């Protein structure tokens, strides 16, 4: 049974939502100074509502599956949950959109996973949605690795795509169970591929004083696992709070919504829901749905169903 409380669960999921919603308007931009990024975030918060993207939609689908189907993660069932939530206007990756078309045509989930990219996708889509796995099995290292890998499988069978999810799940877990996530925690994360190992090493040794442009060059900001998970974890590890982590992710540019969402999940897991600055909650689309999903996930931990795999 996981030792993570409802506060960490809610904090992680709201942190991820905030990163997704605040990062999405700036996706694809070049790196800018943190000062400019702070102004961007402030500007975004002036909108009446900030829409969430595929990051949040698929995180909710994974919770639907973990709470409603089985805590073992069955890739085909998880794919059905993803399809049930799928909305084409949520900024999905090109490969993911083609995959969904195959699912709708009745393709077997295993066959479809290598139909778009023959060696599978190494996009960051499995990592961006994996927080619930880290929260559910925090403290159970081997189970997190196993379940995170299974949660990637419907969409990401490339070893690097899977490894991104495993590393991000462990990052959320350690943040949620210890209340801390700094360089030491980052450096200790288990990466199975050379790509993620090199990325984590670079992130662990990159000073927080570098410019955002330098960090973006060193760590990458592309929508692929090894060029976004390290950047997100660097934001989480070197920034003192959720707001600063999201601002820094926006400053890096590139895949801002997903890098901010992954950084937000880790910072929010460590710091809890009170780390969401006042005035944010009413702007974030899906805020109440995410709080409700957090309640369902935390409730399934409390009733003891969370300790089976
Ligand atoms: N070979 C070449 N390019 C690849 C490969 C591969 N094996 N795998 C991935 N890519 P995708 P995701 C590139 O489409 O992981 C959204 O904006 C390719 O350019 O599987 O769910 C989200 O918010 C492909 O389009 O989707 C995230 O930021 C891209 O990686 C991101 O997309 C993404 O892989 C999540 O994407
Ligand atoms: Mg997105």
Confidence label for 3 from pLDDT (cuts 50, 70 and 90): low
pLDDT tens digits for range 36-78? 999 999 999 999 999 999 999 999 999 999 999 987 899 999 9
pLDDT tens digits for range 238-257? 999 999 999 999 999 999 99
Does ligand 1 come within 6 angstroms of the Cβ of 154?
no
Ligand nearest the Cα atom of residue 92: 1
Does ligand 1 come within 6 angstroms of the Cβ of 124?
yes
Closest CA to 260 of 124, 66, 58: 124
Q: Whose CA is nearest to atom 10 of ligand 1?
A: 123
The chain-wide mean pLDDT, for the chain, equals 95
Per DSSP, helices labelled H in the chain are: 6-23, 34-44, 54-68, 75-85, 94-104, 109-113, 125-128, 131-136, 141-152, 159-178, 183-187, 194-205, 212-219, 229-238, 242-252, 256-271, 287-302
Q: What's the gap between Cα 278 and its chain centre? A: 23
* Predicted structure pTM score: 0.97
Q: CB of 296 within 8 A of CB of 67?
A: yes
pLDDT of residue 128: 98
Does ligand 1 come within 6 angstroms of the Cβ of 15?
no
Cα(91) to centroid of ligand 2, in Å?
A: 6
pLDDT tens digits for range 242-298? 999 999 999 999 999 999 999 999 999 999 999 999 999 999 999 999 999 999 999
pLDDT of residue 118: 96
Mutation choice for ligand 1 from 223, 225, 250, 254, CB with most ligand atoms inside 8 A: 223
pLDDT tens digits for range 86-144? 999 999 999 999 999 999 999 999 999 999 999 999 999 999 999 999 999 999 999 99
Mutation choice for ligand 1 from 24, 27, 86, 95, CB with most ligand atoms inside 8 A: 95
Q: CB of 218 within 8 A of CB of 120?
A: no
pLDDT of residue 308: 38
Ligand nearest the Cα atom of residue 128: 1
Q: Residue 1, SS3?
A: coil
Nearest-atom index, ligand 1, CA of 24: 23
Q: Where do the domains of the chain lie, and which CATH numbers do they carry?
A: 6-302 (1.10.4080.10)
Does ligand 1 come within 6 angstroms of the Cβ of 248?
no
pLDDT of residue 2: 58
DSSP state of 203: H
């Amino acid at each position: 049974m996981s030792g993570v409380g409802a506060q960490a669960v809610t904090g992680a999921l709201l942190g991820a939502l905030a990163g997704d919603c605040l990062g999405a308007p700036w996706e694809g931009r070049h790196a800018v100074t943190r000062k400019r990024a702070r102004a961007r975030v402030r500007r975004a918060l002036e909108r009446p509502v900030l829409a969430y993207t595929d990051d949040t939609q698929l995180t909710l689908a994974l919770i639907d599956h973990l709470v409603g189907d089985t805590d073992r993660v069955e890739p085909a069932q998880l794919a059905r949950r993803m399809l049930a939530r799928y909305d084409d206007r949520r900024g999905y990756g090109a490969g993911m959109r083609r995959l969904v078309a195959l699912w709708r045509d009745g393709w077997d989930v295993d066959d479809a996973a290598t139909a778009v990219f023959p060696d599978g996708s190494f996009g960051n889509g499995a990592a961006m949605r994996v927080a619930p796995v880290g929260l559910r099995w925090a403290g159970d290292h081997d189970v997190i690795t196993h379940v995170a890998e299974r949660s990637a499988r419907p969409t990401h069978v490339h070893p690097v795509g899977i490894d991104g999810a495993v590393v991000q799940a462990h990052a959320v877990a350690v943040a949620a169970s210890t209340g801390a996530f700094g360089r030491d925690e980052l450096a200790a994360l288990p990466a199975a591929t050379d790509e993620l190992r090199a990325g984590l090493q670079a992130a662990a040794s990159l000073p927080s004083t570098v410019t955002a442009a330098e960090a973006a060059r060193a760590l990458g900001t592309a929508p692929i696992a090894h060029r976004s998970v390290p950047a997100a974890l660097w934001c989480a590890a070197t920034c003192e709070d959720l707001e600063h982590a999201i601002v820094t992710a926006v400053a890096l540019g590139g895949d801002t919504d997903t890098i901010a969402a992954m950084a937000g999940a880790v910072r929010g897991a460590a710091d809890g829901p009170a780390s969401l600055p006042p005035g944010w909650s009413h702007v974030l689309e899906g805020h109440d749905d995410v709080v409700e999903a957090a309640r369902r996930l935390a409730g399934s931990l409390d009733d003891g169903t969370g300790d089976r795999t």
